[in-house]
Amino acid sequence: MEEQSTFSVVLSNLIGAVFLLGGISVMLFLQISRNAALKRKVLRWSLVFMGPVVLGFFWAAGAPLPFILLAIPGCAFIAFMNLRNIRFCNACGRTLVSYSLIFRQKICASCGESLR
């Protein structure tokens, strides 16, 4: 088995830490904030940012190129599903997550307001 260089190990650990801290901070923000418009922007930008971070982690960890090329549509699909299934109520600001692959939530489970 080929041994990884010190730079590669440090880089993969750094990228992993960025992914972990970024993901936790976005998750906490989406749960705590009640500003639905800002939460939509933060979610979009975090998904745009986190996809390349995951791919960079795979690259730094020494994943082969075919694996990374297959991971690109996987990251895009995960981002699409998160954008589709995470919604925010304009009335109360709650974050609502639908786990259905087919149906989207139409009303807020907290206040009953219709979701756009």
pLDDT of amino acid 1: 44
Domain count, the chain: 1
In a domain, 83, yes or no: yes
Q: What is the tens place of the pLDDT at every residue in 4-61?
A: 678 888 888 898 899 999 999 999 999 999 999 999 999 999 999 999 999 999 998 8
Share the mean pLDDT of the chain.
91
- Please name the residue that has the structure tokens 């998750």: 27
Residue numbers of the domain that contains 89: 6-97
- Asked if residue 111 is part of any domain, the answer here is no
Global confidence as pTM:
0.84
CA dihedral 26, 28, 32, 36 (to 10 degrees): 20
Task: Report how far Cα 46 is from the mean position of its chain's Cα atoms.
Answer: 6
Secondary structure of residue 38 in the 3-state scheme: helix
Does residue 115 belong to any structural domain of this protein?
A: no
* Mean pLDDT, residues 76-99 taken together: 93
Question: Per the domain annotation, does 86 fall within a domain?
Answer: yes
* Consecutive H or E run containing 88: strand 86-88
13 is a domain residue:
yes
